[in-house]
Amino acid sequence: MKVGFIGLGVMGRPMAKNLLKAGYEVVCCDHHPEHVRELTDAGAAAAANGCEIARQCERIITMLPNSPHVKDAVLGPGGVLEGARPGTVLIDMSSIAPLASQEISRACAEKGVEMLDAPVSGGEPKAIDGTLAIMAGGKRAVFDQMTEMLRAMGSSVVYCGEIGAGNTTKLANQVIVALNIAAVSEAFMLAQKTGVDPAQVFEAIKGGLAGSTVMNAKVPMILGQNFKPGFRIDLHIKDLNNALETGHGVGAPLPLTASVMEMLQTLHADGFGSEDHSAIARWYQKIAGCEIGG
């Protein structure tokens, strides 16, 4: 089966490669020629734009930075809908605003194109090894048809509801992750300032109720002051902005999310936007005047 893939960034490239490894023919495009060359060297075919991809493929994946990029790739000049035929399935795996997913889906429906919103969680490491968590919204029957293909990229593929539900689920995920990192940073700064070794605190509490996947992944990075990006602060700013806009639109209060957003914006202004979101700890270190684990 031919699968179109639009967007070959940090996540998109390994995801497309995993489709190739699973035996799918991949036709891809991206604004960066070197990314396209990397995929063609791995066995994919190249296309000029989404329209050209849609003329060749009945299954098309988009993996792009944010809502405007997806709208442009699907609805804009040279976009997917210019070349798509009725029966084509578009799977947007970007993390965008749920209302934007619904808007794009309505435009797709007018052309007889089905759509799933299926954002992912797990970052580059899980994109590389094909163990992403994929959360999908759309028609259940379409999801069922696409599940096998999605499993080439993820170890967890879960149906969440109608179109937009995938991105709502992803926003909930991103809120929890951001608040968890902030809580971990706050707690371990408390330990640091009271003279208790944060590494010992970690060992003592990680198996209890306070333990979490976020703690296990991020505390060693914070203790080592290793903020090499797995998921960049600037990307988390984008996700929390979508969460806050969605919350405002539906009347859901997000006061804790807004507080962490201000921390992230400060870190961006201080030049740390390309660091891992575990660098939320830097905000506490700046205020407290010392390093966690230092």
Residue carrying structure tokens 């007889």 = 112
Cα torsion angle, 102, 156, 2, 93, sign? positive
Domain membership of residue 259 (yes or no) is: yes
Segment 35-54 shows an average pLDDT of: 98
Name the domain boundary from 101, 129, 163.
163
Instruction: Find the domain containing 118 and state its range.
Output: 2-163
Poorest-confidence range of 2-6, 129-133, 227-231, 242-246? 227-231
159 in the same domain as 246? no
48 in the same domain as 28? yes
Segment 264-274 shows an average pLDDT of: 98
Confidence of residue 230 (pLDDT cuts 50, 70, 90): confident
Name the domain boundary from 163, 183, 201.
163
54 in the same domain as 144? yes
Domain membership of residue 293 (yes or no) is: no
Task: Quote the pLDDT of residue 124.
Answer: 87
pLDDT tens, position by position, 175-198:
999 999 999 999 999 999 999 999
| Residue from 170, 193, 238, 286 carrying the catalytic annotation | 170
Of all residues in the chain, the percent with pLDDT exceeding 70 is 100
Task: Quote the pLDDT of residue 130.
Answer: 97
Task: Quote the pLDDT of residue 294.
Answer: 77
The phi, psi pair for 253, rounded to 5°, reads -70, 135
Of all residues in the chain, the percent with pLDDT exceeding 90 is 97
Domain membership of residue 155 (yes or no) is: yes
Task: Quote the pLDDT of residue 3.
Answer: 98
214 in the same domain as 127? no
Domain membership of residue 9 (yes or no) is: yes
Number of folded domains that form the chain? 2
**Total residue length of the chain:** 294
CA–CA distance, 91 with 138 (Å, rounded to integer) = 10
Name the domain boundary from 115, 130, 163.
163
10 in the same domain as 89? yes
177 in the same domain as 64? no
241 in the same domain as 222? yes
229 in the same domain as 178? yes
* Alpha-helix residue ranges (DSSP H) falling in 29-157: 33-41, 50-56, 67-75, 80-83, 98-110, 123-129, 140-150
Segment 72-92 shows an average pLDDT of: 98
Active site residue 17: no
Segment 64-88 shows an average pLDDT of: 97
Task: Quote the pLDDT of residue 123.
Answer: 85
215 in the same domain as 142? no
130 in the same domain as 222? no
CATH of the domain at 276: 1.10.1040.10
CATH of the domain at 126: 3.40.50.720
pLDDT, mean over the chain: 97
Domain membership of residue 294 (yes or no) is: no
pLDDT tens, position by position, 238-263:
999 999 999 999 999 999 999 999 99
247 in the same domain as 144? no
Is the entire prediction scored with pTM above 0.75? yes
Domain membership of residue 139 (yes or no) is: yes
137 in the same domain as 50? yes
Type and span of the H or E element at 145: helix 140-150
Burial classification of residue 73, based on how many CB atoms lie within 10 Å of its CB (0-12 exposed, 13-18 middle, 19 or more buried): buried
pLDDT tens, position by position, 113-164:
999 999 999 888 899 999 999 999 999 999 999 999 999 999 999 999 999 9
End-to-end Cα distance, the chain: 54
Q: How many CB atoms lie within 10 A of CB 95?
A: 26
